[in-house]
Amino acid sequence: MQRLLFPPLKALMGSPCFRLLVPRAAPRTQCGCSCGIRRPLRPGQYSTISEVALQSGRGTVSLPSKAAERVVGRWLLVCSGTVAGAVILGGVTRLTESGLSMVDWHLIKEMKPPTSQEEWEAEFQKYQQFPEFKILNHDMTLAEFKFIWYMEYSHRMWGRLVGLAYILPAAYFWRKGWLSRGMKGRVLALCGLVCFQGLLGWYMVKSGLEEKPDSHDIPRVSQYRLAAHLGSALVLYCASLWTSLSLLLPQHKLPETRQLLWLRRCAHGTTGLVFLTALSGAFVAGLDAGLVYNSFPKMGESWIPEDLFTFSPVLRNVFENPTMVQFDHRVLGITSVTAVTALYFLSRRIPLPRRTKMAAATLLALAYTQVGLGISTLLMYVPTPLAATHQSGSLALLSVALWLMNELRRVPK
């Protein structure tokens, strides 16, 4: 049996693909003379991962803790990339008003798209029973319906890909013993958040399929559920990226001075502002608030428009009044770029490692780029390509803010 199993297993362990994922252990050292003879290894000590697997007889790879951390870190970095793709694709789906084209939700059944003319017509007839078609798209053709259907289909299928990217490797790493006790809890939380995100997405779509009390209301998903859907995706992305960076990037042992403590707090606050600004963008998208006042820096003819507080009670205006929602997004954006600028100049006054300075400079450049994209999107009446770039820019800005926070994190004693 060993003769049958070990040669293929040995070939697999020596393949380039396996070596890319799993770092090799340090090679055995040679003795000081010129004979080239390697020193004997201690009992139970192996020079490569392949030898560990072959000696065990079960194919179980027991990685050193640092090597396992690097593997898990790379996996979570890939996972955060898939979440970023889902956020960007979801933004495009919203901008093209495609989110309500699939009127039911089946985990397995809907993975196969319609193929025949009869299946497409049946799908189109289901869509025609809901308010979006009756009020907005009553003259839509089947070809136009196919476009918005495929947009929503792509977003849902990408969501399934995100779930597989988290759950399958997590189960594999857990079985192999590559997750520490603390990491197991974190991975379980991430996988649970992925499942919750899928359910929340359907809960959001369902709000746009319901009949409104006023038959003339524009069919759209609830801006509250849209913000919750985006917010949970951002939390998943931030948690995955932060964990990945913590595992992959070596920590800087910086002197704990008062200036560094203040810089660290400012970095945390700035990241929170960037997150809140991105989240407020969900309310802008949900209410089409980007089309209310298409001028800058003023809103129309005044700095503060008169219709900020038209709803009662007053608190409703913050989340339901398109004018107030756009005003809040402007204020948050300007506050965020001001905080990033102050953070950059504060970092210049402290001796920091080169990588940390690079993170601060990149954050500053991205912040001003994002403001420019936002203003351009507003002045050009929210064209889809520019608006999608602006939404993607918020994710890039949040990523670099997390990178800077990670660079400044406290080294445990």
pLDDT per residue, tens digit, the chain (413 aa), is 344 333 443 443 444 444 444 444 444 444 444 444 444 444 444 443 334 333 443 445 556 688 889 999 999 999 999 999 999 999 999 999 999 999 998 888 878 999 999 999 999 999 999 999 999 999 999 999 999 999 999 999 999 999 999 999 999 999 999 999 999 999 999 999 999 999 999 999 999 998 876 645 788 899 999 999 999 999 999 999 999 999 999 888 888 889 999 999 999 999 999 999 999 999 999 999 999 999 999 999 999 999 999 999 999 999 999 999 999 999 999 999 999 999 999 999 999 999 999 999 999 999 999 999 999 999 999 999 999 999 999 999 999 999 999 999 987 66
Q: Where are the beta strands (DSSP E) in 217-298?
A: none
Q: Distance between CA atoms of 301 and 305, rounded to whole angstroms?
A: 8
Predicted pLDDT at 153: 96
Please name the helix (run of DSSP H) or strand (run of DSSP E) that holds residue 162, with its range, or none.
helix 142-176
Q: Residue 63's Cα: distance from chain center in Å? A: 29
Q: Where are the alpha helices (DSSP H) in 287-410?
A: 316-320, 322-348, 354-379, 384-407
Q: Are 193 and 243 in contact (CB under 8 A)?
A: no
- Domain span at residue 339 reads 254-413
Could you tell me if 133 and 221 lie in one domain? yes
Note the pTM of the prediction, 2 decimals: 0.84
Cβ neighbour number for residue 197 with a 10 Å cutoff? 20
Which of 230, 248, 266 is the last residue in one of the domains?
Answer: 248
Could you tell me if 233 and 261 lie in one domain? no
Predicted pLDDT at 254: 84
Could you tell me if 115 and 22 lie in one domain? no
DSSP codes, 90-157: HHHHHHTT-TTS-----TTGGGS---SHHHHHHHHHHHTTSHIIIII-TT--HHHHHHHHHHHHHHHH
Could you tell me if 212 and 266 lie in one domain? no
- As a dihedral over the C-alpha atoms of residue 97, residue 161, residue 105, residue 117, rounded to 10 degrees, the angle is 70
Could you tell me if 106 and 205 lie in one domain? yes
Beta-bridged to residue 299, according to DSSP, are 302
Which of 227, 248, 269 is the last residue in one of the domains?
Answer: 248
Predicted pLDDT at 66: 85
User: Domain tally for the chain?
Assistant: 3
Could you tell me if 88 and 42 lie in one domain? no
Could you tell me if 383 and 411 lie in one domain? yes
Which of 17, 38, 56 is the last residue in one of the domains?
Answer: 56
Could you tell me if 329 and 399 lie in one domain? yes
Q: Are 277 and 332 in contact (CB under 8 A)?
A: yes
Could you tell me if 243 and 259 lie in one domain? no
Q: Distance between CA atoms of 192 and 232, rounded to whole angstroms?
A: 11
62, two tokens:
């027991």
Could you tell me if 126 and 273 lie in one domain? no
Residues 6+ apart with CB under 8 A from 280: 325, 328, 329, 332
Could you tell me if 50 and 163 lie in one domain? no
Could you tell me if 78 and 221 lie in one domain? yes
Q: Distance between CA atoms of 341 and 238, rounded to whole angstroms?
A: 22
Q: Which of 231, 320, 208, 334 is nearest to 282 (CA)?
A: 231
